[in-house]
Structure 1
Amino acid sequence: MTSSVPWQERLSAGTEAVQDEVIRWYQETPEGQAYVSTMIWGTFQTEAYATVILGQVVDFLGVPDDVPAGVAKRMQRQQVLYDGEHHYDVVLGEQALYTNIGGPEVMREQIDRILRDIDLPLSSLTLGIIPATAPVDMLPVHAFDLHGDEVHVELVSSGLNVTEPSELDLYRKAFSRPSDAALYGEGAKELLQKARSFWSGARRG
């Protein structure tokens, strides 16, 4: 089964309530997978990065502006990375390290955050980064989060929740393909350091 709720309806009271939903979703599912090719996964985002992202959402959709409250909730959701009771297998595209969200200072801080979290115990986090030129045995797909028996997909106009078992199997397969192309450990750190050097030399735009 696939259900869809338009963002303007879901965010009609602002961003905070949706973040509460996501917190519950994360807390209730101990194992999760996420694939994000062009931006930083929400649970890695710094306060500054998340402020820019949620501000863009509010501006684009014309929903109530409660960005500070929404950002605070997004920061709260990140505690699942450190509680020792959850594990996340995350794959980012290298482009996510270069998509300019908020300018060089925000991006440097964001990459420093990921460099810190990449050393979390493997029982809590497995992080891979797909090099921009790596061959991937999979057609390009949209970002998605897979938790237990549900997949969440964010489209421009709405959020989709997918629960049909056959579709879930395809998402699991879709996650395994870019995972195989990703670099982990020291290889991922080298990509992060390269991006950090880029943003350290970049001028404020």
Structure 2
Amino acid sequence: MVPWQQRLATGTEDIQDEVIRWYREAGNGKAYIPDMIWGTLQTEAYATVILRRVVDFLGVPDDVPAGVAKRMERQQVLYDGERHYDVVLGEQALYTNVGGKSVMRGQLERLLRDIDLPSLRLGILPATAEVPIFPVPGFNMREGEANYELLSSGVDITDPAELALHEKAFAAISSAASYGSAAEGLISKALTYWNGD
């Protein structure tokens, strides 16, 4: 494990380049993100708030605009037709306040716009869903690797037996998630909340 302060010693742009390479090398990926929007689906405004908070909290060099630009660049993997991503967001992700009403409205509108992308299978895990596994933190997966972003560092899992458990956990979470029109309904309900006074 390498602490974030060390990995972000030159700012946020370089780590976003690492993620771009990670996605370009992986033909397919999976992600379970319980309480925020998956980085590859974030709007520019949402990503700006997230990276600003990272910089301020960790005290790393402030290159937020460059980091956000790279995060937007990585989203091209959703449109190149070469990869597929299976993503489950916790319903809480639709309500975690990142940047206020305007940012959240734009973010949820983006989810509704992109939910039918051929490269994406987007599920929403309802807050009241009964999941056939104990609660677990969010993680990303690609062939041969699972990744966790912790408060102080990132953790990469490569052991085959551990990866098999991650596949099993993702299958359990996916089985309880809502897809298609049901997922759209949950996103639209959250959008109504953010449109309120």
Is the TM-score greater than 0.5? yes
Please give the alpha-carbon distance, in whole angstroms, between the structure 2 residues aligned to 1:9 and 1:186.
43
1:175 aligns with 2:170: yes
2:55 to 55, 58, 62: 58
Aligned-pair distance for 1:49? 0.2
1:88 aligns with 2:77: no
SS at match of 2:137: coil
1:161 aligns with 2:146: no
Task: Specify the code of the residue in structure 1 equivalent to 2:56.
Answer: D
Aligned-pair distance for 1:119? 1.3
SS at match of 2:132: coil
1:33 to 20, 30, 35: 30
**Structure 1, unaligned runs of 5 or more:** none
Please give the alpha-carbon distance, in whole angstroms, between the structure 2 residues aligned to 1:172 and 1:148.
11
Please give the alpha-carbon distance, in whole angstroms, between the structure 1 residues aligned to 2:15 and 2:94.
26
Aligned-pair distance for 1:44? 0.5
SS at match of 1:83: coil
Please give the alpha-carbon distance, in whole angstroms, between the structure 1 residues aligned to 2:20 and 2:34.
22
Match of 1:187 in 2: 182
Please give the alpha-carbon distance, in whole angstroms, between the structure 2 residues aligned to 1:106 and 1:176.
31
Please give the alpha-carbon distance, in whole angstroms, between the structure 2 residues aligned to 1:145 and 1:82.
19
Aligned length: 197
Please give the alpha-carbon distance, in whole angstroms, between the structure 2 residues aligned to 1:140 and 1:43.
23
SS at match of 2:178: coil
1:10 aligns with 2:33: no
Output one character per residue of 1:101-126: Cα deviation in whole Å (capped at 9) or x when no partner.
000000000000000110112xx110
Please give the alpha-carbon distance, in whole angstroms, between the structure 1 residues aligned to 2:34 and 2:180.
18
Output one character per residue of 1:147-202: Cα deviation in whole Å (capped at 9) or x when no partner.
11011110000001111111111111111111000000000000010000000004
Superposed CA RMSD in Å reads 0.6
1:109 to 84, 106, 114: 106
Please give the alpha-carbon distance, in whole angstroms, between the structure 1 residues aligned to 2:116 and 2:169.
26
SS at match of 1:64: coil
Task: Specify the code of the residue in structure 1 equivalent to 2:88.
Answer: V
2:117 to 120, 126, 133: 120
1:78 to 75, 82, 102: 75
Could you list the runs of 4 or more consecutive aligned residues of structure 1 that deviate by over 6 angstroms after TM superposition? none
SS at match of 2:50: helix
Please give the alpha-carbon distance, in whole angstroms, between the structure 2 residues aligned to 1:14 and 1:120.
31
**Structure 2, unaligned runs of 5 or more:** none
Output one character per residue of 1:74-95: Cα deviation in whole Å (capped at 9) or x when no partner.
0000000010000000000000
